[in-house]
């Protein structure tokens, strides 16, 4: 790549980085589309790799991809020593604890149910954001959160109020929710110090180091060169480049500009996209109950973002 082309791409990306508020919301929406698809990508990969191995490989791909992009954009990769502890701690909660809960939970329940449980993050985030960062929401936004949460409950429980998914899987996924909330509070501080892309790059590398011992201890028997095929490589690439790189950069940028509570409300859209894409990609059936849940979620997202 010539110096002129590199300079052109650097200028292009820096111009795009100066996003208006409208583009910030589009970025958050795009991240949710990608994460909605990622549940089906992960389910396909689970036929070949264990949950921890899947995360480890996608973090390797993401780290390499972001290193190239950051080099092209000429962003500094230097992390101040005083911030090491914050990066190490935040990466412990996400990607490490978060993906342990999400991937092992996803391995036990359907993509749509997994996505809907993860979508409860905005329900609990405002409480954490209020006490930690003094962020506030308007009454109409709170009403939107409540309406969306009703949609979440509709999905998790049958009409006779019995849970319709693996209890262990649900528990693991709620562990991922707790990790994401704690991570969100720390993330707000990191976005004040570093570019969102640098934050994702550093946390993915640290998270990769955290995951290596887990894979070596528990999943080496699942790794086989004979399993390598186009479907596996394609879905791992999508997870690494889109789900663990592009989507996280877009989402962290929205956290930086909108605040934790407001940005996290967009995660209510993930179950909608997860249900649609899992239907087309892995044949999961969209039932009447799922359709009702999706309508509640969409209505809640609209209200939760009104007048912002």
d(CA 223, CA 48) in angstroms, rounded, equals: 8
Q: Which residues pair with 40 in a beta bridge?
A: none
In terms of average pLDDT, the best of 10-19, 154-163, 253-262, 299-308 is: 253-262
Asked whether the beta carbons of 162 and 94 are under 8 A apart, the reply is no
Residue 300 to residues 176, 232, 261, Cα–Cα distance (Å)? 22, 36, 14
Q: What is the pLDDT of residue 214?
A: 93
Q: What is the pLDDT of residue 237?
A: 95
d(CA 109, CA 101) in angstroms, rounded, equals: 12
Residue owning tokens 């939107």: 144
Q: Which of 16-20, 167-171, 201-205, 294-298 has the lowest mean pLDDT?
A: 16-20
Long-range contact set of residues 222-226: C-beta below 8 Å, sequence gap at least 24: 222/48, 222/49, 222/50, 222/53, 223/49, 223/53
List the one residue out of 74, 33, 2, 56 whose CA is nearest residue 274: 33
Q: What is the mean pLDDT of the chain?
A: 82
Q: For 76-89, how does the pLDDT look when each residue is reduced to its tens digit (9 = 90+)?
A: 888 999 999 999 99
d(CA 228, CA 266) in angstroms, rounded, equals: 35
d(CA 175, CA 164) in angstroms, rounded, equals: 18
d(CA 224, CA 226) in angstroms, rounded, equals: 5
d(CA 74, CA 24) in angstroms, rounded, equals: 23
List the one residue out of 17, 18, 26, 28 whose CA is nearest residue 254: 28
Q: What is the pLDDT of residue 16?
A: 54
pTM of the model: 0.79
Q: For 226-280, how does the pLDDT look when each residue is reduced to its tens digit (9 = 90+)?
A: 567 899 999 999 999 999 999 988 988 888 788 776 777 787 788 788 888 888 8
Q: For 114-128, how does the pLDDT look when each residue is reduced to its tens digit (9 = 90+)?
A: 887 887 777 777 666
Q: For 125-179, how does the pLDDT look when each residue is reduced to its tens digit (9 = 90+)?
A: 766 666 766 666 678 777 877 887 787 777 777 666 566 668 899 899 999 999 9
- End-to-end alpha-carbon separation of the chain, Å? 42
Q: What is the pLDDT of residue 233?
A: 93
List the one residue out of 297, 299, 305, 296 whose CA is nearest residue 261: 305
For residue 71, give every residue at least 6 positions away whose Cβ sits within 8 Å of its Cβ, in sequence order, or none.
none
Q: For 202-224, how does the pLDDT look when each residue is reduced to its tens digit (9 = 90+)?
A: 999 999 999 999 999 988 877 66
Confidence of residue 101 (pLDDT cuts 50, 70, 90): very high
């Amino acid at each position: 790549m010539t110096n002129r082309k590199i300079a052109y791409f650097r200028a292009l990306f820096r111009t795009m980085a100066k996003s208006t508020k409208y583009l910030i919301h589009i970025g958050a929406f795009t991240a949710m589309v990608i994460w909605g698809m990622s549940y089906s990508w992960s389910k396909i990969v689970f036929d070949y790799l264990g949950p921890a191995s899947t995360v480890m490989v996608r973090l390797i791909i993401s780290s390499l991809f972001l290193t190239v992009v950051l080099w092209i954009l000429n962003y500094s990769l230097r992390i101040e020593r005083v911030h090491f502890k914050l990066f190490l701690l935040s990466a412990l909660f996400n990607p490490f604890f978060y993906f342990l809960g999400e991937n092992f939970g996803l391995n036990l329940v359907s993509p749509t149910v997994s996505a809907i449980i993860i979508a409860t993050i905005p329900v609990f985030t405002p409480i954490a954001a209020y006490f930690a960062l003094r962020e506030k929401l308007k009454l109409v936004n709170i009403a939107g959160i409540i309406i969306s949460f009703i949609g979440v409950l509709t999905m998790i429980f049958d009409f006779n109020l019995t849970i319709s998914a693996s209890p262990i899987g649900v528990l693991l996924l709620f562990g991922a929710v707790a990790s994401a909330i704690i991570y969100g509070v720390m993330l707000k501080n990191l976005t004040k110090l570093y570019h969102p892309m640098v934050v994702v790059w550093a946390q993915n590398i640290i998270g990769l180091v955290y995951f290596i011992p887990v894979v070596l201890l528990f999943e080496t028997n699942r790794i086989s060169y004979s399993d390598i095929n186009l479907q596996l490589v394609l879905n791992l690439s999508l997870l690494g480049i889109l789900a663990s790189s592009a989507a996280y950069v877009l989402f962290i940028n929205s956290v930086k500009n909108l605040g934790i509570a407001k940005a996290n409300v967009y995660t209510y859209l993930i179950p909608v996209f997860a249900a649609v894409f899992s239907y087309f990609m892995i044949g999961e059936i969209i039932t009447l109950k799922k359709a009702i849940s999706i309508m509640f979620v969409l209505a809640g997202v609209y209200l939760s973002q009104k007048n912002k």
